[in-house]
Amino acid sequence: MTVATPNVQPRINWPTAVFMVLIHALTLLALIPGNTTWGAVGIALALHWITGCLGITLGWHRLIAHRSFQVPKWLEYFFVICGSLACQHGPIEWVGLHRHHHRFSDQEADHHNSGRGFWWSHMGWIFHEVPSQAEVYRFTRDISSDPVYQFCNRYFLPMQLPLAIGLYLMGGWPFVVWGIFVRLVVVYHCTWLVNSATHKFGYRSHETDDASTNCWWVAVLTYGEGWHNNHHAFQHSARHGLQWWEIDLTWMHIRLLKALGLASKIKLASDA
């Protein structure tokens, strides 16, 4: 296992840093009396599943970044839109950086290299300029010319506005506070735990050239993404939980899609 630590501290990415501080601060609105209702919490959980599971985990990660299975194009675009509502930049940027991460996992070129510490791999890197962004299009030639991907990559932030308006019409400010601000921050940290906690805590089932681990509690929070050492050993497997006790909710979604005739050409670790 090789984990290298870079010597150069990249410059602060001020627009992203300000946005992250602001969006975290806005979650405090949930503490104001009247801004927390059971309905608002419920809508946040539903959107956590739609944007975090269907969007990021199933869609952007397993379907698009690794092409672990195939679905009809209309359904792929649906997952692309769900992921865009997670506001983790656009799909081209996200997929490109993720593929770059796998190419240089825990090496100096890895933008969230866990060798730089838990804080850096969790969210510290987000506050800085990412040199690997210059290579995004080299890693995304299969999607970078698609107009739907281009639209979502350009307008992922404004896409929050119609969602916020819809939430306000449904349940007023509590739905906006929980459905936008709280939900975004929770989904952010769940995603970031895959970069940080699953390179530090847990067990290793496979020898890989990085520090990836299988961490059960991250798997619970991320619909099965916590079985990260399994994933790094078999990057193109649609199933990350390889043992019977490694519960993988995203894999269950993929099996449901297959049963409905919507998922095909599913790749598994056994194929490798």
The answer to the question of residue 7 being in a domain is: no
Cα–Cα distance for residue pair 272/263, rounded to 1 Å: 20
Question: Residue with structure tokens 């919490």?
Answer: 41
Contact 29, 177 (CB under 8 A): yes
User: SS3 of 264, please?
Assistant: strand
Going from the C-alpha of 82 to that of each of 40, 64, 78, 177, 248, the distances in angstroms are 19, 13, 6, 19, 20
Contact 113, 3 (CB under 8 A): yes
User: SS3 of 36, please?
Assistant: coil
Cα–Cα distance for residue pair 89/76, rounded to 1 Å: 18
The answer to the question of residue 225 being in a domain is: yes
Cα–Cα distance for residue pair 63/74, rounded to 1 Å: 13
User: How would you write the pLDDT of the chain (272 residues) with one tens digit per residue?
Assistant: 444 444 456 799 999 999 999 999 999 999 999 999 999 999 999 999 999 999 999 999 999 999 999 999 999 999 999 999 999 999 999 999 999 999 999 999 999 999 999 999 999 999 999 998 899 999 999 999 999 999 999 999 999 999 999 999 999 999 999 999 999 999 999 999 999 999 999 999 999 999 999 999 999 999 999 999 999 999 999 999 999 999 999 999 999 999 999 999 999 998 75
Supply the range of the domain harboring residue 57.
14-113+153-271
Cβ neighbours of 4 (radius 10 Å): 14
The answer to the question of residue 3 being in a domain is: no
The answer to the question of residue 5 being in a domain is: no
Q: Find, among 260, 259, 226, 250, the residue nearest to 49 by Cα.
A: 250
The answer to the question of residue 90 being in a domain is: yes
The answer to the question of residue 133 being in a domain is: no
The answer to the question of residue 136 being in a domain is: no
The answer to the question of residue 251 being in a domain is: yes
Maximum CA extent, the chain: 54
pLDDT at residue 10, rounded to an integer: 78
> Phi first, then psi: what are they for 214, rounded to 5°?
-100, 120
> Phi first, then psi: what are they for 120, rounded to 5°?
-60, -50
What's the number of domains the chain is made of? Answer: 1
Residues present in the chain in total: 272
Contact 92, 150 (CB under 8 A): yes
